[in-house]
Structure 1
Amino acid sequence: MNSSKDQFLQLVRHRVKFPLFLLTKLPAAYFSGVRVTQIEEDKAVVTVPYKWFSQNPFKSTYFACLAMAAELSTGVLAMMHTYKSNPTISMLVIGLEAAYFKKATGITTFTCGQGLDINQTIEDALASGEGRTIKIKSTGKNEDGELVAEFFITWSFKAKKSLA
């Protein structure tokens, strides 16, 4: 792995820096309790608890909080693979599909194992000079390992033109 990815992994794993990033850039995720619990080059794991700030009137985790956790499990991988890239890469969510299977009444853990696919899409965008998209899966399970929700998030990546 290259040094910029190592640097990014250190930032995400830092006890203060990444929570501060969430607080300042994604405050809804921070206050809902969304947290990155594991990140590697190919995989990210993100949790969201059922608590007062993330609840809905049906005594389960609000669907939008589940979506934030699912999106972060894919987005943190995309951020890692674009961190300090030259040229810089723009990234944008352009699609979201979700299926819910069970009430989320405790900690829901979202896992995305497509980090290498994301990296390849970014490399293709850089090589071609054209935008590229990828549909990424994030699976949410409860503490008993039961499927709670499945998300498919479509990301777009494009190299920004330099002004030089």
Structure 2
Amino acid sequence: MNPSFDIFRRQISNPLKFRLFLLQRLPSAFFSGLRIRSFDAHQSQIGVRYSWFSQNPFRSMYFAVQAMAAEMSTGILGFAQIYRRKPSVSMLVLKVEGSFSKKATGMITFTCTDGDKITEAVETAIKTGEPQTIICQSVGKNQEQEAVATFFVTWTFKSKQS
């Protein structure tokens, strides 16, 4: 595991610092209202509320807002593992697949439980110098804990060894 994980977790878990980060680096996530609901080395939960900004013409949450929250639930786990790494490691989304099973209204929480898988991929990329590709799952649930969407985000991690 990344020795700087706890530093990253403390910084990103601060609501004000997280909002400033989104405003500077991911303004669409800022305006969509993405929030960290929980985050540790094993899983993360990103919440987003149905609102005027996140709506589609069918009175539910726009698919792109759901995809953004799902991607962030997987990406935050990866970013925590590459934060301040020596040698540095890059990460990149290769593919996103989504399916929708129910109308998304109210608060939707996307959960990814692939933290251990991500840690292993980053460690392997550093040890071998070979890029590692993994598929992470994020499931979005409404307030009644009914699944509304499932996303699979394919990530690649590559060590920048000299």
TM-score when normalising by structure 2 = 0.97
Aligned to 2:152: 152
| Residue of structure 2 in register with 1:21 after alignment | 21
Is the 2:49–2:107 Cα contact (8 Å) retained in structure 1? Answer: yes
Aligned length: 162
- Shift of the alpha carbon at 1:2? 5.5
Displacement of 1:16 after TM fit? Answer: 1.3
Spell out the pairing of 1:15-164 with structure 2 (5 A cutoff): 15-162=15-162
Q: TM-score, normalised by structure 1?
A: 0.96
Output the amino acid matched with 1:147.
A
Once the 2 structures are TM-superposed, how far is the Cα of residue 161 of structure 1 from its aligned partner? 3.4
Distance in 2, matches of 1:115 and 1:124, equals 14
Give the match's secondary structure for 2:78.
Answer: helix
Inter-partner Cα distance in structure 1 for 2:58 and 2:15? 33
Mapped partners of 1:32, 1:19: distance in 2 = 11
**Separation of aligned partners in 1, 2:22 and 2:108:** 18
The one-letter amino acid of 1:153's match is: V
**CA distance in 1: counterparts of 2:16 and 2:99, whole angstroms:** 33
Paired amino acid for 1:121: A
- Asked if structure 1 preserves the Cα contact closer than 8 Å seen for 2:4 and 2:84, the reply is yes
Question: 1:111-150: per-residue Cα shift (whole Å, max 9, x none)?
Answer: 0011011000011111110111000000000000111000
Runs of 4+ with deviation above 2 angstroms: none
Provide the rounded CA distance (Å) in 2 between the counterparts of 1:123 and 1:98. 28
Percent identity between matched residues is 49
More displaced stretch, 145-154 vs 11-20: 11-20
Aligned to 1:12: 12
Structure 1: state its 5+ residue gaps: none
